[in-house]
Amino acid sequence: MAPTIASRGTVTVMDCFSCVRTARIGTLPPREVVGVDGHWRVAHAFDTSLPGWLVLVPRRHVTSVAELTDAEAAGLGPWLVGLSRALRAVTGCAKTYVVQLAEKEGFAHVHFHVVPRMPDLPPERRGPGVFGFLGLPEDRRVSDERQDALALALRAALGPA
Ligand SMILES: [Zn+2]
C-alpha cells in the first residue's frame, strides 16, 4: 500500500526542505535549531556567506503567510523582534532586514529571512542587494562549525524559551 503523503500544490511535505528538517528536530545540529517553540523553528541559512543570516520557519507546512493560524501569528512578532535583538547582541549589526518571499523552487514553505545588516555593509549590498550573500556554492558559505557556534551564542542571547 502506498504511504499517505500530505500535499500542498505540487510539492509534497516529504520533499520540503523545511519539513524534512523539522521532522528530525530532536537530532538536528545547533545551526538548524537556533530557536524553537511549538509553532516556529529558527535555522541559520545554509548557503550564505553572511554570518548570522537566520531563517524563521513555521513548523507546519504553510506556503502563504495568510495560511498561518492565529496562534502561529501570535508568535511571529516576538520571534522577529527577539531574533533581531539577539543578532544585534551577537553580531553587532546596526539593524536587521526581515524578508519573506518563498519563491525559489523547492522552498515554497513560508520562511522569514532575518538578516543582520552590519554597520560596514557596502552600499551596493544594502537593501535587496543583501541577497547576493545567499545561494552561494559550498566553498563560499559560512562553515557548519561557525554556524553552530553562532547558533549557540544566539540561543544564549535569546534566553530561555
Ligand atoms: Zn514544508
How many angstroms does the Cα of residue 15 sit away from the middle of ligand 1?
Answer: 8
CATH number at residue 84: 3.30.428.10
Q: What residues flank ion ligand 1 with Cβ within 5 A?
A: 16, 18-19, 61, 109
Task: Provide the pLDDT for residue 3.
Answer: 44
Task: Provide the pLDDT for residue 143.
Answer: 98
How many angstroms does the Cα of residue 86 sit away from the middle of ligand 1?
Answer: 26
Closest CA to 103 of 68, 67, 49, 64: 64
Q: 53-112, pLDDT tens digit by residue?
A: 999 999 999 999 999 999 999 999 999 999 999 999 999 999 999 999 999 988 999 999
Q: Which residues pair with 48 in a beta bridge?
A: 134
How many angstroms does the Cα of residue 16 sit away from the middle of ligand 1?
Answer: 5
For the chain, report the end-to-end CA distance as a whole number of angstroms.
41
Is the residue at 39 inside a domain?
A: yes
Is the residue at 1 inside a domain?
A: no
Least confident of 4-13, 85-94, 141-150: 4-13
- CA neighbours closer than 13 Å in the CB half-sphere of residue 73: 7
Which DSSP state fits 30? G
Is the residue at 150 inside a domain?
A: yes
- Which residue did the predictor score with more confidence, 6 or 103? 103
Is the residue at 25 inside a domain?
A: yes
Domain count, the chain: 1
Q: 113-125, pLDDT tens digit by residue?
A: 999 999 999 999 9
Is the residue at 62 inside a domain?
A: yes
Task: Provide the pLDDT for residue 158.
Answer: 96
How many angstroms does the Cα of residue 63 sit away from the middle of ligand 1?
Answer: 8
Is the residue at 134 inside a domain?
A: yes
How many angstroms does the Cα of residue 61 sit away from the middle of ligand 1?
Answer: 4
Domain with 15 in it: 7-158
Is the residue at 2 inside a domain?
A: no
Task: Provide the pLDDT for residue 9.
Answer: 52
